[in-house]
Amino acid sequence: MPNQEIEDIPVYLFVGFLEGGKTKFIQETLEDKRFNNGEKTLLLLCEEGEEEYDASRFPNAGTIFQHVIEEKEDFNEENLKKILAETGATRVVLEYNGMWTINDLFENLPMEWAVYQAMCFVDSGTFLNYNANMRSLVVDKINVSELVVFNRFDKATMNQLDFHKIVRGISRRTQIAYETTDGEVAYDDIQDPLPFDIHADEIVINDEDYALFYRDIMEEPEKYNGKKVTFRAAVVRDKKFPKNVFAGGRHVMTCCVEDIQYCWLVCEWEKAQMFDTRQWVRLTADISVQRHKLYQGKGPVLKIQNIILTNAPEQEVATFY
């Protein structure tokens, strides 16, 4: 018999920290007949806050199966499959523990479980403190989310820009909403232009803007195709590279020392072997988005037009903030 394709189990993922408003939003979602239309749903809770679910308010309440996983070791593929099979559910609403990483989530989800939507809920009153003391967990949650909602936002004492900068330092694609203390919801409309002119004849990247440039060109390479760019970079050579290729980039820190990594672009130059690894250069190149084996697909290839040796920048590790 031919193999039958296994249908995806949609997962609606809600992340954030305790008392951030996840439970309230999920409660309202499951009260909505447009979402809760009778399809069997596993409501999987990986933490329990002060607010509890009121199943009596759910339409089609008999089709909602609530299950709690309190211990991290119980969040594993075998157990998740078992729970789903016992309920007969065809989709999952997952309230994830804020202290567990997203990497742990994806490593343990069954292969057929597919995250269809991810949203992050945060208590505005504690967010800045979380960001200052547990930034890696903040980055972890926002980076995967399509929308972050700041609950209990006090317009009189809080500044949207403080929250906006933190989110934009992590992700340019995540939408931002503020639910104020008087119950209103407002979406972030702060203009967030890139700190360099992408329409200039030559795009000049200042040292402090490299992280933003790198993320933007890797997320939307086509808008840089055919452009000319100038920036300072650390060279890396490797025996596996073609003779006319070197890597040009910077070490970038997203949130903490542990996540620093070398973020580089493929550079093509006929004299590439002149440089040694860790030498700093200022390069000017034409950008061509094309297939390259070092990308294992398409990516921005820099055709070097001019290059000179230079000193390291004052801050060698680039950041987003």
Instruction: Please write the tens of the pLDDT for every residue from 265-305.
Output: 999 999 999 999 999 999 999 999 999 999 989 999 999 99
Contact between residue 284 and residue 273 where contact means Cβ atoms under 8 Å apart: no
Tokens of 268: 């093509």
Contact between residue 207 and residue 216 where contact means Cβ atoms under 8 Å apart: no
4-16 average pLDDT score = 85
Query: Residues near 87 by Cβ (< 8 Å), separated by ≥ 6?
Result: 40, 42, 65, 67
Going 291 to 292 to 295 to 299, the CA torsion angle's sign is: negative
Q: How far apart, in whole angstroms, are the C-alpha atoms of residue 217 and residue 285?
A: 14
Residue 229 has pLDDT above 70, yes or no: yes
Residue 119 has pLDDT above 70, yes or no: yes
Strand partners, 234: 249, 280
Q: How far apart, in whole angstroms, are the C-alpha atoms of residue 287 and residue 294?
A: 16
Residue 254 has pLDDT above 60, yes or no: yes
Residue 259 has pLDDT above 50, yes or no: yes
What pLDDT shows up at residue 223? Answer: 95
pTM for the full predicted model: 0.70
pLDDT bracket for residue 192 (50, 70, 90): confident
Q: How far apart, in whole angstroms, are the C-alpha atoms of residue 271 and residue 306?
A: 11
Q: Is 214 exposed, middle or buried (0-12, 13-18, 19+ CB in 10 A)?
A: buried
Residue 1 has pLDDT above 70, yes or no: no
For 132: left if phi > 0, alpha if psi spans -120 to 50, otherwise beta; the answer is alpha
Cα–Cα nearest to 238, from 214, 212, 262, 221 = 262
Strand partners, 320: none
